[in-house]
Chain A
Amino acid sequence: EIVLTQSPGTLSLSPGERATLSCRASQSFSSSYLAWYQQKPGQAPRLLIYGASSRATGIPDRFSGSGSGTDFTLTISRLEPEDFVVYYCQHYGSFMWTFGQGTKVEIK
């Protein structure tokens, strides 16, 4: 089973700044099978990125994903007030899904 470790646990930044979130896997896998989700308080997660770098429908272009092998990154180019929430990475394998433990982006 692939284990995903996200870092940092909490990221303190100001609106307008750039956020870089990391997701590291315990073993290498195809970037086709990595997704990122955003979760606001009291809401279900929302798909942001799939295939490591493809934005989901309706996702602003300030969100971008990159990476391969065991190291993946979610970048938010300029933080908007609504971006200060929690983000999860996810690996999807053959009928199995695993999540990272999440990164909270908070206002500095």
Chain B
Amino acid sequence: QVHLVQSGAEVKKPGSSVKVSCKASGATFSSYAISWVRQAPGQGLEWMGGIIPLFGSVNYAQMFQGRVTITADKSTNTAYMELSSLRSEDTAVYYCARSLGVISYFDYWGQGILVTVSS
């Protein structure tokens, strides 16, 4: 059984950055991919980007290009997502999710992290 455990809630000021983590247990990183998906309050799901930890390959959704950085530490089975130049519209729950490859569905999800951007 795979578990994705995410770091705790964050409160940030506009213009700052946030870095959140997602630690996988029950399986090594192997060749699967970790994606980050966000959900603003009352809104739908939005894919932000993903990484294949084994190779370090990344891809970002166009709307987040230049503002998001996704990394992974194979030694600790942990993926990270850093979002910069935060604005109030970035207030959302941020999920990590696993897929078995770059052309696969999300079979496991983290519990989500609420990031609040407020002055």
Contacts and interface: CB of A to CB of B under 8 A. Distances in A.
A47 to B, nearest CB: 6
Nearest to A50: B105
Interface string B20-46: 000000000000010101000000111
Contact of B44 (A50, A93, A102): A102
A101 B105 contact: no
Given A1-B62, A99-B46, A102-B44, A44 B95 contact: yes
A35 B59 CA distance: 20
A45 B45 contact: yes
Contacts of A45: 45, 95, 106, 109
Interface in A6-57: 33, 35, 37, 39, 44-47, 50, 56
Interface in B44-58: 44-47, 50, 57
Interface in B3-31: none
Given A44-B110, A44-B111, A45-B109, A99 B44 contact: yes
B47 A99 contact: yes
B46 to A, nearest CB: 7
B104 A44 contact: no
